[in-house]
Structure 1
Amino acid sequence: MQTTAVRLLAHHRVQVQTVEIREPDQDEVLVDMAFAAVNPVDLYVSRGAVAPDGPLPRTLGSEGAGMLDGRKVIVRGHGFGAARDGTWAGALVAPAASVIPVPEAVPLDQAASLGIAGATAIRCVEDLANVAAADRVLVLGAAGGVGSFITSLARAAGATVWGQTSSSAKADFITGSGAENVLVGDADLIADDARAFQPTVVFDPLGGPFTGAAIGALNPGGRLVLFGASAGGVGEVPLRELYRNGITVHGYAGLRDDPAMLANATTRALDAVVTGALAVHTDRAVPVGDVEEALLAIANREVRGKLVLRLSE
């Protein structure tokens, strides 16, 4: 059997090719893929910043959604795109344990983004921060995939939510995700304007100077959930404010979490879509042949919500 796949031939060299799909072994299944999310981690993998020692050539893609025996499913985890062939292909041989059923009410283009971004948002909002109606929540990078999911979930929990972005063009999208106010600017803005908001929870995927600013803005007894460092892996932390205000810092381990826990979080994300607590905004579905366009959009931070590859017609 042959299918079209996005292959990483060398770091920084991606090409769409026709590949042979082998027969599944025991405890494996053959999934007909429909959509796959394009995540920042996929960009990092393509450049060799993540999984630099992974086999070459290999198919990229860390998650996706398709059909298995007439049923909608998500495929996620198990080293897809990093240690083994990934999800950016028309068909995929996957471990049976990597497959999660999708409720009929959830479209496949939305399901494709829930194995990573959806699970991350659920774990951060519900398990780490335990957001409740009394909270005032500040979401940094609120126009991103995870950021928009967190905004939606926190608002559904009854919290007052503010979002941050560096681009005024993304403000309407953030309010559409559930934020009552949008801060447009850098870490200095967070240090000034967010302090007046007195957030009880800050979600931070940015790192760099933003983390220290977030700690300074948090209300005494507040919680900081750090799940990324796209603005810089090193930053200054105001230690006196951290300990004198009793701030709790939670780090989200992501793919290092227990696989069963991540699978459970993905299922909970799917349930949240069904109930309306989680709104999935798909920026656009890019044909697989335009994968370079998709990677460039991620690199340039042009995406509002999630970007997916359309793997089949």
Structure 2
Amino acid sequence: MPLPACALKGFFYRKFPMQAFQVESYATPPTLRVINPPAPAKGEVLLNIEACGLNFADLLMAKGTYQDTPNPPFTLGMEVCGTVLALGEGVSEAKIGTRVAVFGGQGGLAQQGVFPALLCREVPDEMSPQVAAGFQVAYGTSHLALTRRAKLQAGETLLVMGAAGGVGLTAVEIGKAMGATVIAVARGADKLAVATAAGADHVIDASADITAEVRALGGADVVYDPVGGAAFKAAMRATNREGRMITIGFASGDVPQIPSNHLLVKNITVIGFYWGGYLKFNPTALTDSMGELMDWYVQGRLKPHVSHVLPLEQSADALELLRSRTSTGKVVVTL
């Protein structure tokens, strides 16, 4: 039987400092620090964090170049799975002892953290903490981008760039679940094998002539691009008339300049998509999307791929796996 909130507050808040992987300055690497546990404010819950999923945005945030970077000092880690320890004022959506997943934007690489109660989603018993922690951003991004923004239809051809990465791999899987023919682009035989296992109908090595190979397969109706740079340009040349290109991110470090005359001639639409932005103007879209994705997982329609699980003490190593692009699927830190 779980302890009441007041007992949990007294036991956890005042007695035990905790570890957190924090950015103290943009000029220095993040470090593991000992800090006082947080207390939930109005509308928040306190979580005992079990696992934290890492994202490319964490690398940008550590340098201060992400669009929603908080002021230092702050704790990295955008998405977590944990158990509710205490409730802030006015919270009725969550219950103490419940295991939930939440995208908080920061605060995940710590033993405990506070997050908005409205964004918490109860985790099915069938889902492990490692899967739940790395599920939200990657699957949520691809699901909302392909359903709400690109309006991908069954029978269309979906081209996924960076298809073995955290979000790219989920786009392959969700595209197949929506009835599309999926062309996956990744670098190297090992990553192409991962994309094939996720359901890709065709795979193309990133070192090949992407434009020619995609055209030979009939072109792309929808392009999902978290890479940018030369990959975006190659994909644009292979996009069919009235095609839709979704810009998810720029992992290459190169933000492509789009030739408007090409859009005009081929009636191509380029769609901007920032999943985290929905927290501010339409959080219901995120929670509804996540509810459908959780149902798909329970039904066996989704099989998340976590390539690396590391402890909190190796958070720097975990981020390096993203920076060096040696991981496939998700990298998760456990606590």
Residue matched to 2:88: none
**Cα distance in 1 for residues equivalent to 2:222 and 2:119:** 32
Residue matched to 2:44: 28
Quick check: 1:106 aligned with 2:130? Answer: no
TM-superposition CA deviations, 1:10-47 (whole Å, max 9, x none): 22322222221143233222111111011111111112
Quick check: 1:193 aligned with 2:213? Answer: yes
**Cα distance in 2 for residues equivalent to 1:231 and 1:262:** 27
Alignment of 1:164-183 (within 5 A): 164-183=185-204
Do the aligned residues in 1 keep the contact of 2:79 with 2:103 (CA within 8 Å)? yes
SS at structure 1 position matched to 2:255: coil
| 1:3 maps to which of 18, 21, 27 | 18
Do the aligned residues in 2 keep the contact of 1:212 with 1:235 (CA within 8 Å)? yes
- 1:246 is displaced (CA, Å) by 1.9
- 1:299 is displaced (CA, Å) by 0.5
The percentage of counterpart residues that share the same residue type is 30
- 1:240 is displaced (CA, Å) by 4.3
Alignment of 1:218-229 (within 5 A): 218-229=239-250
Evaluate the alpha carbon distance shift between residue 268 and residue 215 of structure 1 in structure 2; reply closer, same or farther with a 3 A threshold: same
- 1:142 is displaced (CA, Å) by 0.2
**Cα distance in 2 for residues equivalent to 1:51 and 1:180:** 35
- 1:132 is displaced (CA, Å) by 2.7
Do the aligned residues in 1 keep the contact of 2:53 with 2:331 (CA within 8 Å)? yes
Gaps of 5+ in 2: 1-11, 85-95
Do the aligned residues in 1 keep the contact of 2:38 with 2:113 (CA within 8 Å)? no
**Cα distance in 1 for residues equivalent to 2:71 and 2:256:** 33
Evaluate the alpha carbon distance shift between residue 51 and residue 147 of structure 1 in structure 2; reply closer, same or farther with a 3 A threshold: closer
**Cα distance in 2 for residues equivalent to 1:133 and 1:310:** 37
Corresponding letter in the other structure for 1:309? V
Evaluate the alpha carbon distance shift between residue 129 and residue 279 of structure 1 in structure 2; reply closer, same or farther with a 3 A threshold: farther
Kindly report structure 1 stretches of 4+ aligned residues shifted beyond 6 Å. Answer: none
| 2:177 maps to which of 151, 156, 165 | 156
TM-superposition CA deviations, 1:242-288 (whole Å, max 9, x none): 22222222211322222222222222322222223332101121111
Do the aligned residues in 2 keep the contact of 1:215 with 1:237 (CA within 8 Å)? no
Do the aligned residues in 2 keep the contact of 1:67 with 1:73 (CA within 8 Å)? yes
Quick check: 1:276 aligned with 2:291? Answer: no
Alignment of 1:5-84 (within 5 A): 5-11=20-26, 12-50=28-66, 54-68=70-84, 69-77=96-104, 80-81=105-106
Evaluate the alpha carbon distance shift between residue 226 and residue 56 of structure 1 in structure 2; reply closer, same or farther with a 3 A threshold: closer
**Cα distance in 1 for residues equivalent to 2:123 and 2:131:** 10
Aligned residues: 304
Evaluate the alpha carbon distance shift between residue 52 and residue 177 of structure 1 in structure 2; reply closer, same or farther with a 3 A threshold: closer
| Structure of higher CA gyration radius | 2
| 2:323 maps to which of 299, 309, 312 | 299
Corresponding letter in the other structure for 1:294? A
SS at structure 2 position matched to 1:109: helix
Evaluate the alpha carbon distance shift between residue 53 and residue 299 of structure 1 in structure 2; reply closer, same or farther with a 3 A threshold: closer
Residue matched to 2:91: none
Corresponding letter in the other structure for 1:116? V
Do the aligned residues in 2 keep the contact of 1:122 with 1:268 (CA within 8 Å)? no
TM-superposition CA deviations, 1:122-169 (whole Å, max 9, x none): 111211222232111111000011111010011112221110012333
